[in-house]
Amino acid sequence: MFDTVLIANRGEIALRIQRACRGLGLRTVAVYSEADADAPYLQAADQALCIGPPAPGQSYLNQAAILFAAKISGAQAIHPGYGFLSENAGFAARVEAAGLVFVGPSAECIRTMGDKVAAKRAMRTAGVPCVPGPDQALPSGPAAIHAIADAIGYPVIVKAAGGGGGRGMRVVHEPATLIDALAVTREEARRAFGNAEVYIEKFLSHPRHVEIQVLADSHGNALWLGSRDCSLQRRNQKVVEEAPAPGIPVAQVAAVGERCAEACRQIGYCGVGTFEFLYENDAFYFIEMNTRLQVEHPVTEMTTGIDIVQQQLRVARGERLSLHQADIVCTGHAIECRLNAEDPRSFAPAPGWITDWVLPGGFSVRVDSHAGAGYRVSPYYDSMFAKLIVHGATRADALDRMRLALAEMQVGGIATNLALHREIMDDSGFTAGGVDIHHLERWLAARAVA
């Protein structure tokens, strides 16, 4: 049991977690870098402590500083948010070793899921459908490796077992380039992730990105909370997310969701998590599990009515889930737009001072943001300054509501992607539903030519 939570993150998610804590009557300790010293959300915390200079390595990734802040503030739990230390098994282990609660799964679970080959093996065992390809270390001989790729069928993709952030992957279209691609990816992986293990799987050419949110307690109970579609991406970065994934039969989502919940039970998973799938030709293929809260969790909250962050804190406190799978009813449709401070043409981050700030409002409109007039979007961190989320009775209603909200929202002083989102909401491909992960880039390329 704990009554004080240190929030080891910044920005909108730090505020989101703070609100969840307050809703449960928990005290909060905010930590911040020198670049965030003026952030308004710090005022709302019970205590705020500076943990270092702006560079993430010296502040939000500085494990010793964060553990020290927990010690002097008396926090008994640490919520890592997303990004930064949220999927760092070593940090989770240090938190546990310090006698504190890491608000997330055990270090062991994070380690297993952080190794994509081990994760794939665990998922297959639980009956979760995976991308065709072995879930064992690759053999060393070229002939044996060729035999594996031939059996999968070209094109294949070579991936780093320890990869993340869309790096450490290479598509191979023909046998002649396979061995070289393996060597290059291995070397890249060794340098970037400190783990040279690579594996091969089928490359899917036009998949959708569909994911399943799960919630599990420490008593062996696990639930799945519906699907999300995050196919609208640019350079592997999600731009728009929605729940549920449009056009996929409810029974098919339920079958996969059940396998995800079963996988959680089998590996002793506790907390919230996301199973990411590629969806192609009416089939789900597991690619990875994120062992943390996701940026896009609000669309699931809007469709299920469940406060995912409060549930996450409750299970971290050792509480038994009071919900049962039959209680989880997904109603209507929710859409989230990620609003970034960026150049509308080059997409380069464009930090700066926000001078004007008009938020949209009305029925079923939600803005998750730490920003406002007078706030400076920092050059040191991610350029996302707000998430605009709407809910509607149907997908068409949600789209209409999002168009209105985007028209109402005004942000001055910085360049943003608001105009891009307005255009996306009128794109016939997107509004029809079910686009693949290359749709946005194709659409942007066509727009650039026109």
Cite the active site residues: 292
Minimum CB separation of residue 222 from ligand ADP in Å reads: 21
Q: Is 305 in the site for ligand ADP (CB under 6 A)?
A: no
Q: Is 379 in the site for ligand ADP (CB under 6 A)?
A: no
Q: Is 240 in the site for ligand ADP (CB under 6 A)?
A: no
Q: Is 209 in the site for ligand ADP (CB under 6 A)?
A: yes
Q: Whose CA is closest to 386, among 309, 295, 290?
A: 295
DSSP letter for each residue of 370-417: S--TT-EE-TTS--EEEEEEEEESSHHHHHHHHHHHHHH-EEESS-BS
Q: What would you report as the CA-atom Rg of the chain, rounded to the nearest whole angstrom?
A: 22
DSSP assignment, residue 241? E
Residue (2 or 269) nearer to ligand ADP, CB: 269
- CB–CB of 203/156 below 8 Å? yes
Interacting residue with ligand ADP among 115, 135, 197, 288 (CB under 6 A): 288
DSSP assignment, residue 111? H
Residue 151 tokens read as 């059996």
Interacting residue with ligand ADP among 8, 157, 223, 306 (CB under 6 A): 157
Interacting residue with ligand ADP among 3, 276, 319, 343 (CB under 6 A): 276
Q: Is 15 in the site for ligand ADP (CB under 6 A)?
A: no
For 68-132, list the strands marked E by DSSP. Answer: 77-79, 101-102
Interacting residue with ligand ADP among 306, 437, 439, 440 (CB under 6 A): 437
Minimum CB separation of residue 412 from ligand ADP in Å reads: 34
DSSP letter for each residue of 262-283: HHHHHHT--EEEEEEEEEETTE
Q: Is 277 in the site for ligand ADP (CB under 6 A)?
A: no
Site string for ligand ADP, 121-140 (x = CB under 6 A): ----------x---------
Residue (211 or 217) nearer to ligand ADP, CB: 211
Between CA 280 and CA 312 the distance in angstroms is: 31
Q: Is 287 in the site for ligand ADP (CB under 6 A)?
A: yes
Number of residues that bind ligand ADP (CB under 6 A): 19
Residue (36 or 280) nearer to ligand ADP, CB: 280
Q: Whose CA is closest to 240, among 253, 252, 231?
A: 231
Q: Is 163 in the site for ligand ADP (CB under 6 A)?
A: yes
Q: Whose CA is closest to 261, among 215, 300, 308?
A: 215
CB under 6 A: which stretch of 60-68, 179-187, 200-208, 324-332 binds ligand ADP? Answer: 200-208
How many C-beta atoms lie closer than 10 Å to residue 136's C-beta?
A: 10
CB under 6 A: which stretch of 93-101, 141-149, 195-203, 375-383 binds ligand ADP? Answer: 195-203
Q: Is 164 in the site for ligand ADP (CB under 6 A)?
A: yes
- CB–CB of 189/197 below 8 Å? yes
Q: Is 166 in the site for ligand ADP (CB under 6 A)?
A: yes
Element (H, E) at 284: strand 283-290
At 339 the three-state DSSP class reads strand
Residue nearest ligand ADP by beta-carbon distance: 204
Interacting residue with ligand ADP among 201, 211, 229, 242 (CB under 6 A): 201
**Chain residues that interact with ligand ADP, rule: CB under 6 A:** 131, 157, 163-166, 169, 201-204, 207, 209, 236, 276, 278, 287-288, 437
